[in-house]
Amino acid sequence: MNENLVEVRHLKQYFNINVGMFSSKPLKAVDDVSFAIRKGETLGLVGESGCGKTTVGRTLLHLYKPTAGEILFEGKPVSTKAEIHEFRKKATMVFQDPYSSLNPRMTVSDIIGEPLDIHKLYSSREERRQRILELMDKVGLNSEHASRYAHEFSGGQRQRIGIARALALNPSFIVCDEPVSALDVSIQAQVINMFDELQEQLGLTYLFIAHDILVVRHISDRIAVMYLGKMVELADASEIYDHPMHPYTKSLMSAVPQPDPRIARANKRIVLSGDIPSPLNAPSGCPFRTRCPHASEACAASMPEFKEISPGHFAACHKINELN
């Protein structure tokens, strides 16, 4: 259980943004992030929009070429074209928007069968068909719907098609990028349960990216928190909710709208002032210092190291010992 399936070391992903007519500036979407995902676990990745959580997921699958850093899968590096091709058989993705991530001109069976076509994983039409029906059954889709088009389905069912496509290659690792945020609450619970069940049946490992802390808390074994391209905290799911250490995580956990009026009204919230700075001019030192109630000069001077504070609990803050 403690074996690492995916390991990320000092991952950096910069995008060049044009400022003015002739000059460009790097946007540091992900800046020096290191973490590992254990075999069979779900690592939740939370943060606000623009913090780089989606970029981490995409770079991990080499959908973007990383600017710097290493990605290891099953202990082996992934960087050459051949390695990436092999890697993508074992690592797939479920996207956020079930409306735009399915080709409207393809039937459900072609959408689910496309990964099989690309990797040539069948010897006959019949074998392909059998595999597609098996996958549809696995995600609770009616096999009679194989020749329909995506627009004939509701949001929840479309997300099931997306999940069936991700499962087509028998992957061991799936990056789930906000897979339930476009769905209604009652449908969301159906899909979350399905993720849970598939993990149990197939021994899958997930990187579950979401902004909804209630959902992430439910599905994850461990949770990582990102802010402005940096990872600020990583710990067990219950630990990070009950004993957050980083001031940003503390405010994030206190800001979760709780579906209980008595808690919601009694809640002592840590409301942050201000907005997230633009990643184009991120503050010097700790990226959170402009909104942090405890910031001092040391925070402006250097970026705090992301280190293990207590067993399995990582955080990046200069004042971690003072605050906890």
Partner 1 sequence: MEHILEVKDLQTSFLTSSGEVKAVRGVSFFVNKGESVGIVGESGSGKSVTSLSVMQLLVGTGKIIGGSVKLNGRELVGLSPKEMRSIRGKEVAMIFQDPMTSLNPLIPVGEQVGEMLWSHDKSLSKAQREERVIDLFRMVRIPEPETRLKSFPHEFSGGMRQRVMIAMALACKPDLLIADEPTTALDVSIQDQILKLMRSIQKEMGMSIMFITHDLGVVAELCSRVLVMYGGLIMEEANIYDVFENPLHPYTMGLIASIPDINQDKSKKLQPIIGSPPDMVHPPEGCPFAPRCPYACRICLHQLPPVFSAGEGHKSRCWLLAGDAPSSGNPLKGRKGAKE
Residue in 7, 11, 46 with CA at minimum distance from that of residue 28: 11
Closest to partner 1 by CB, 19 vs 118, is: 19
Strand partners, 7: 36, 72
Q: How far is CA 206 from the centre of its chain?
A: 8
CB of 295 to partner 1, least distance (A): 16
Query: Whose Cβ is closer to partner 1: residue 207's or residue 219's?
Result: 219
Residue 82 or 271: which CB sits closer to partner 1? Answer: 271
* Sheet with 76-77, side-by-side order of all strands: 23-38, 4-19, 68-73, 76-77
Identify which of residues 49 and 80 has a Cβ nearer to partner 1 in the complex.
Answer: 49
Which backbone phi and psi does 170 adopt, to 5 degrees? 55, 55
CA dist 91 and 50 (Å) reads 24
Q: Which is nearer to partner 1, 109 or 251 (CB)?
A: 251
Planar angle of CA 202, 117, 170, nearest 5 degrees? 10
Minimum distance from residue 127 beta carbon to partner 1 (Å): 32
Q: How far is the CB of 211 from partner 1 (least distance, A)?
A: 7
Minimum Å gap between C-beta 84 and partner 1 is 31
Chain residues that interact with partner 1, rule: CB under 8 A: 42, 48-49, 154, 156-157, 184-190, 192-193, 196, 211, 213-215, 217-221, 237-238, 241, 251-252, 255-265, 269, 271-273, 275-276
Shortest distance, position 184 Cβ to partner 1, whole Å:
4
3 state DSSP class of 21? coil
Task: Report how far residue 234's alpha carbon sits from residue 224's, in angstroms, rounded to the nearest whole number.
Answer: 4
Owner of token pair 């099953």: 74
- Residue 129 CB, shortest distance to partner 1, in Å, is 27
CB of 239 vs partner 1, minimal distance in Å: 11
Looking at the Cβ atoms of 231 and 252, the one nearer to partner 1 is: 252
Cβ proximity to partner 1: between 51 and 71 the closer is 51
On the 0-12 / 13-18 / 19+ scale of CB atoms within 10 A, 24 is exposed
3-state helix, strand, coil in the chain (%, to 5): 40, 25, 35
